[in-house]
A = this chain, B = another copy of it.
Amino acid sequence: MFDFKYFTPTKVVFGKNTESKVADLIKEFGGKKILIHYGGGSVVRTGLLKRVTDTLDAAGISYVTLGGAVPNPHLGLVYEGIELCKKENVDFLLAVGGGSAIDSAKAIGYGVVNEGDVWDFYDYKRKAKGCLPLGVILTIAATGSEMSDSSVITKEEGLVKRGYSSDFCRPKFAIMNPELTMTLPDYQTACGCADIMMHTMERYFTNGGNMEITDALAEGLLRTVKKNALILVNDPKNYDARAEVMWAGSLAHNGITGCGNDGGDWMTHKLEHELGGLYDVAHGAGLAAIWGSWARYVYKNCLPRFKKFAINVMEVDPSGSDEEIALRGIEAMEDFYRKINMPTNLHELGIDPTDDELKEMAKKCAIGVGGEMGSAKVLNEEAMLAIYRASM
């Protein structure tokens, strides 16, 4: 195993009606003037935003609001948020929503505290020296951004989607009420489950440094999400299943399922980022559409892990050769995707890129990772193109 750091300072307040504690939490972490950042109209329609502002009003906490964060959140809105925070002397950010609102808020937080263009961080040009403190009321279980050190932003010009990670942006608190996720469309719920599992699978499929306890936690998490995602297909109002998935979403990406390994593979995410940048597809669905092709391309180079995954997570018949078991696991995962109505290729995802477009994505992806990347198998541009082609 490798040396590691683990740092998850976010105070999690989990359960029914926990959003009522938002003012107390903001005060605990010293917030005086708040930017409430949210996405589309759902937090308005459901009345959540009003409940939040009523709570802040009652507590005498001053705030401004900024809506409009979209999936694959845009840099333009980030700039707008930075200006608003500076103008209004905002000292604390409250993201109300899913990963889009949280990631957008994180980028705003970097932009307020650091001089210069915030895109520099996402463009790997320099490192942030801080971030405005941030709290979260989570409404979608998916990205894990409520505890993670990462955020992903899309620059509209050239549709470039990039992530930036630092401990500075880990939220101070995360309010998680599983009931808030019950109004989600089924498709978004399934996308969330695919995303959650992938965050841990990216850490799991490695060729270096794995710890047994980390594996045990990862496998337990994946089995739990798999089971509860299937429950939610037919019973989307099931509180316990919502709660299992929601808590798994945070644990899948706060770092705990990767302690001791080499940092993980992350190529499925990188390949999907190019799809998400160009086609604005739902992130979780994009991951599902790519994963099978990635897995079949790399599994022979990472056979012990694919075998372990097949047996301990997908719970397939453990007889036969390692390769047979590994392939059985990949097939079982694709079957699972189909059962939760997730795509297993680009066509099912609803896009049909030309080969030139695939080449363009592979090229951008290779540039984005600095030439080549991966732990299960190191992938270069040619390999990326092969996976994109196989996913058609």
Contacts and interface: CB of A to CB of B under 8 A. Distances in A.
Contacts of A243: 1, 211, 260
Nearest to A246: B213
Contacts of A244: 211-213
Range of interface residues on chain A? 35 or more
Number of copies: 2
Interface in A1-32: 1-9, 11-16, 18
A5 B11 contact: yes
Contact of A227 (B7, B212, B240, B259): B212
A13 B6 CA distance: 7
Interface in A320-370: none
Contacts of A2: 15
A256 B259 contact: no
A220 B211 CA distance: 12
A387 B151 CA distance: 53
A3 B15 CA distance: 4
A285 interface: no
A213 B12 CA distance: 16
A14 B213 contact: no
Interface in A194-241: 211-213, 216-217, 219-221, 223-224, 227-228, 240
A343 to B, nearest CB: 26
Interface in A158-213: 211-213
Nearest to A215: B220
A248 interface: yes
Contact of A247 (B14, B18, B213): B213
A179 to B, nearest CB: 11
What are the 7 closest A-B residue pairs judged by CB atoms, nearest first?
A: A3-B15, A216-B220, A9-B9, A6-B12, A213-B224, A7-B11, A220-B220
Given A216-B219, A216-B221, A219-B220, 7 more contacts: A4-B15, A6-B11, A7-B11, A8-B9, A213-B220, A213-B244, A247-B259
19 contacts: A1-B243, A3-B14, A4-B12, A5-B12, A5-B13, A5-B14, A6-B11, A6-B14, A8-B8, A8-B9, A14-B259, A211-B240, A211-B244, A212-B224, A213-B220, A213-B244, A216-B217, A216-B223, A217-B221
